[in-house]
Amino acid sequence: MKVAVFSTKAYDRKFLSAANSPTQHELVFFEPRLNRDTAILAAGFPAVCVFVHDQVDAPTLEFLASRGTRLVVLRCAGFNNVDLQAAADLGITVVRVPAYSPYGVAEHAVGLILSLNRKIHRAYNRVREGNFSLDGLLGFNLHERTVGIIGTGKIGLILGQIMKGFGCELLAYDVYRNPELEALGGKYVELPELFANSDIISLHCPLTLETHHLINAEAIEQIKSGVMLINTSRGALIDTQAVIEGLKSGKIGYLGVDVYEQESELFFEDLSGEIIQDDIFQRLTTFPNVLITGHQAFFTAEALHNIAETTFANIADVEKGHPCTNEIRAQFSA
């Protein structure tokens, strides 16, 4: 099958090309993101392969369908950037990679926790400048601290396993209980109880209408003062402006994020020589107790291999007319 691959970096081309060797699909790599303006690049391609910030809305899908595209292949788990109803109306199949880096994401969350707690990022810069003072670097023991995990699927469970190894108590919230987390000693509670009793809160849930701005001004009023808030899931789970107010008041003591609700204009690009126009993001970077990484939690060799393998397995299922377990339809929530 001829596949137009958008939003590609060197690492995408490397792993996708390697995984394609046995099947020999015709891959054409494009660096630009897919949107209505760039969709012309995919004219005549039966399939397009896209990533998290490609704009697969109704106008884009209509153009793609008019030029012969019948398959949208997401090489990521989230799909809120795809108009699934429009895809269904146009007869376009949409598939995704639902889980590819649970250990990588959970381990990155722990890295943020450790770095924020022990101020490793600040200590690193001090030592490079010959400053060996410990003032301002005081941390706390993770042992016997309470970690609240919101979303206890594969990633949330692995985070619970790791934090249990530190000797932490686990509180959890999810629509569906995970018996493996309960076997670790995790206790499922409602959000107000989790907010009030957690020293660390880590978000691992999907972005839905119900979870959009889950951490908002009302939630921040309920949290334990000085809490550490971690988000390696979806940027819009957090109301960034409300979190900034929480940081200014001291209600939020630490913030570690790998995602940002307006990240599509920032992440995955080198903007070091430009003036960033997002004032809210720039305000976040001024806090000494905030650590931001650029959507890299998934970024491990194992994850890129898994993404590539699953991507081509999905294409094969659709091409052969087999049921694809990774197909997504309009009733799903991203």
Sequence-distant (6+) residues with CB within 8 A of 214 are: 150, 203, 205, 237, 238
Has 128 been annotated as catalytic? no
Please pick, among 263, 283, 305, 322, the residue that the annotation labels catalytic.
263
Please pick, among 96, 145, 234, 261, the residue that the annotation labels catalytic.
234
Has 70 been annotated as catalytic? no
DSSP-derived pairing of the beta strands 200-203 and 93-95 = unpaired
Sequence-distant (6+) residues with CB within 8 A of 296 are: 108, 258
Has 295 been annotated as catalytic? yes
DSSP state of 177: -
Q: Which stretches of the chain are assigned E, i.e. beta strand?
A: 2-5, 26-29, 47-50, 71-74, 93-95, 146-150, 169-173, 187-188, 200-203, 227-231, 252-257, 290-292
For residues 50 and 74, give the distance between their C-alpha atoms in angstroms, rounded to a whole number. Answer: 5
Please pick, among 25, 33, 75, 295, the residue that the annotation labels catalytic.
295
- Residue at token pair 């003062």: 225
Spatial contact of 50 and 74, defined as CB atoms under 8 Å apart: yes
Q: Which stretches of 6-56 are assigned E, i.e. beta strand?
A: 26-29, 47-50
| Residues noted as catalytic | 234, 263, 295
